[in-house]
Structure 1
Amino acid sequence: MVIDLAFIWAAIIAFAVLAYVILDGFDLGIGILFPLFPQKRHRDVMMNSVAPIWDGNETWLVLGGGGLMAVFPLAYATILPALYAPIIAMLLGLIFRGVAFEYRWRTKRAEWLWNWAFAGGSAVAALAQGIALGALVQGIPVENRAYAGGWWDWLTPFSIVTGLAVLIGYALLGATWLVMKTTGDLREKARRLSYLAAIGMLVAMGVVSLWTPFLEQLYLQRWFSWPTAIFSIVVPLLVLGCFLLLATGLRNQQDGRPFIAALGLFVLGYAGIGISFYPYIVPASLTIRDAAAPDESLGFLLVGALVLVPLILAYTSYAYWVFRGKVDPEEGYH
């Protein structure tokens, strides 16, 4: 049996990106929701709910980005020039959000500034990630193995819609996380916001899903040609199932279920992107095999990944286990 190292690495990077989205998504969601909770005691609990784990969540972003550069250098060299602006905006947002975690606790006079840095950085990072995703989905022009588009090609109506969809989705993750981790009036307000964000995300997923097949002939054939057309039935049904689980969990006071259901919505959306892309890494331009480094390099790097990825999974799982349960409003990260 021949082992296809390129596709193994594609699966590893896809997993790393998904792990980043669902793990860092909810703490970005906390920042997005920050302006809706004006009371200091609520904001303190919100930040305390993610303070022990937020920076570890970003490990997956480093693994995904670094892995793409090392394993698929041609894809990296093509995608990066096309998405310089949203990627730089995302990184700046993450920097402001990260610095706010540390400095907000150190000052009273300028606390308002770091509140806005936390909220603004989270919103900008989420919006930039969604715009970058939309720009990738709509296609990146490639000629002679290099990016052939312009500076503003990433900014289109479709990419703006995907940016807003990701922003709403992260807000949903943040709200359901607060339902799971907090108590009292903070939890009740988060529960109400979860309903609104869930409806918004369902609408956004519907709009993006109906729009995407008409961006590229590859997507149209994938979603409406047999046998892959079966996904056009299965995936929407699963999305509705997750939405129902989320809504019933909120109604029945089952605090953990809404967050799990929200994660399910992201996983299904990510699966839909994978179904549309495969076997391309840059849609309709570069396949996974075309963009991959030599097998010798892939094999060498895979040895390190087989050690590194389980270690990241282990310490991430341990951190979540240690800080499980509801957040005590009288304790936390100070």
Structure 2
Amino acid sequence: MDLTVIWAFIIAFAVFAYVVMDGFDLGIGILFPTFRVGQGRNRAMNSIAPVWDGNETWLVLGGGGLFAAFPLAYAVILPATYPLIIAMLLGLVFRGVAFEYRWRDPAHEKFWDLAFFGGSLVAAMSQGMILGALLQGIEVDGRAYAGSWWDWLTPYTFLTGLGTVAGYALLGSTWLIWKLDGGVQAHARYVAFRAAIATILLMGAVSLYNITLNPEYAAHWLSAPEVYWVAPVPIVTALVAVALIRTIRGTGNSAPFWLAIALFFLGMSGLGVTIWPNVVPPSITIWDAAAPERSQEFMLVGVALTLPLIIAYTVWAYWVFRGKVGAEGYH
């Protein structure tokens, strides 16, 4: 049993859980200006009010797990993306403050709506560009970051940032299709269709860019025998994309959201295949960056105890607040 591989999958699971759960929160913020002032915006915000704060637990688990299990990766990635991480954290702060103060300071509701939108957009764009900065490769000298302050700013990272914004908007709009009804749900379907098209096109653009970005990436997807193992990923992704478009344009409530999650899962799986076994492309593998084996064993005991509890209370929270958010803004 390779503890390093186990920890790689634990971190990947935490990142995926964060992207999905906080992704639809941020997506609603990104789409907020498109909803009508008043009941439309109030119902959209109330649909995530019981769960949005807990969703960020997964960000703490992913970041803390990376620091503990892969300290070398943490020490390289952070200096390479400091401006983006600072922007992301500020965006999340603005989003959180706006969420709380919007109800307590109605005299400045327009300002808080703008802060909610701006914080969500900045956080989503920053997260996407962090992903792009990692995928395009980080310059390393020995065991330290050797690049400049602006290495992360490239056309590729801008493309991955736009893809993340579109993907979060898709998650947010499909969540609203599930949780709302009436005119607000109809508007959510309208924006979900456009967000789905944008997400699919940007996923395709990033995938094609990846093949030209690094010869190793191209080898993972185009060389035998690897191509026989990875070929199902784009095929299933295309099928899920078609099903997603059909359900958005149909009458289903929860199906668009679950298909959007499936699309994200396939996208993240494809990215995992692209960079494996590196954790910091192009030169640091998961084994190079891993903590000592005894440390991994000790932390695994803690995760084995706490992760089921986190999953349990998350499932319980979503179960308690299941169902539609009515016109009065309550479940």
Asked whether the equivalents of residues 75 and 144 of structure 2 are also in contact (C-alpha less than 8 Å), the reply is: yes
Alignment-derived partner of residue 102 in structure 1: 100
Alignment-derived partner of residue 161 in structure 1: 159
What's the % identity of the aligned pairs?
56
Larger CA deviation: 126-135 vs 279-288: 279-288
Shift of 1:250: 2.2
Alignment-derived partner of residue 56 in structure 2: 58
Larger CA deviation: 212-221 vs 82-91: 212-221
Alignment-derived partner of residue 269 in structure 1: 267
- Please report the RMSD computed on the Cα atoms of aligned residues, expressed in angstroms: 1.1
Question: How far apart in 2 are the matches of 1:213 and 1:154?
Answer: 19
How many residues end up aligned between the 2 structures?
Answer: 331
Question: How far apart in 2 are the matches of 1:332 and 1:24?
Answer: 21
What is the letter of the counterpart of residue 325 of structure 2? V
SS of 2:47's equivalent in the other structure is: helix
User: Which residue of 184, 187, 190 maps to 2:188?
Assistant: 190
Larger CA deviation: 248-257 vs 141-150: 248-257
Shift of 1:246: 1.3
Question: How far apart in 1 are the matches of 2:206 and 2:128?
Answer: 11
Shift of 1:163: 0.2
Distance change >3 Å, CA 30–CA 287, structure 1 → 2: same
What is the letter of the counterpart of residue 296 of structure 2? L
Gaps of 5+ in 2: none
Question: How far apart in 2 are the matches of 1:155 and 1:39?
Answer: 35
What is the letter of the counterpart of residue 120 of structure 1? G
Asked whether the equivalents of residues 129 and 152 of structure 2 are also in contact (C-alpha less than 8 Å), the reply is: yes
Superposition map of 1:65-80 within 5 A: 65-80=63-78
What is the letter of the counterpart of residue 289 of structure 1? W
Alignment-derived partner of residue 42 in structure 1: 40
Asked whether the equivalents of residues 140 and 149 of structure 1 are also in contact (C-alpha less than 8 Å), the reply is: yes
User: What whole-Å deviation, never above 9, does each CA across 1:83-107 have from its counterpart, x for those lacking one?
Assistant: 0011110000001101111100001
User: Which residue of 145, 152, 155 maps to 1:147?
Assistant: 145
Question: How far apart in 1 are the matches of 2:250 and 2:157?
Answer: 36
Question: How far apart in 2 are the matches of 1:231 and 1:271?
Answer: 12
User: Which residue of 14, 34, 50 maps to 1:16?
Assistant: 14
Alignment-derived partner of residue 245 in structure 1: 243
User: What whole-Å deviation, never above 9, does each CA across 1:46-103 have from its counterpart, x for those lacking one?
Assistant: 0100010011111000000001111111000000000001111000000110111110
Query: Given the alignment of the two structures, is residue 32 of structure 1 paired with residue 46 of structure 2, yes or no?
Result: no
Asked whether the equivalents of residues 245 and 257 of structure 1 are also in contact (C-alpha less than 8 Å), the reply is: no
Shift of 1:332: 3.5
Question: How far apart in 1 are the matches of 2:4 and 2:277?
Answer: 11
What is the letter of the counterpart of residue 240 of structure 1? A
Q: Which runs of 4+ in 1 moved over 3 A?
A: none
Shift of 1:327: 0.6
Question: How far apart in 1 are the matches of 2:65 and 2:324?
Answer: 35
Gaps of 5+ in 1: none
SS of 2:147's equivalent in the other structure is: coil
Question: How far apart in 2 are the matches of 1:292 and 1:186?
Answer: 48
TM-score by length of 1: 0.97
Alignment-derived partner of residue 223 in structure 1: 221
Question: How far apart in 2 are the matches of 1:260 and 1:331?
Answer: 23
Asked whether the equivalents of residues 13 and 67 of structure 1 are also in contact (C-alpha less than 8 Å), the reply is: yes
User: What whole-Å deviation, never above 9, does each CA across 1:194-214 have from its counterpart, x for those lacking one?
Assistant: 111111111101100000011
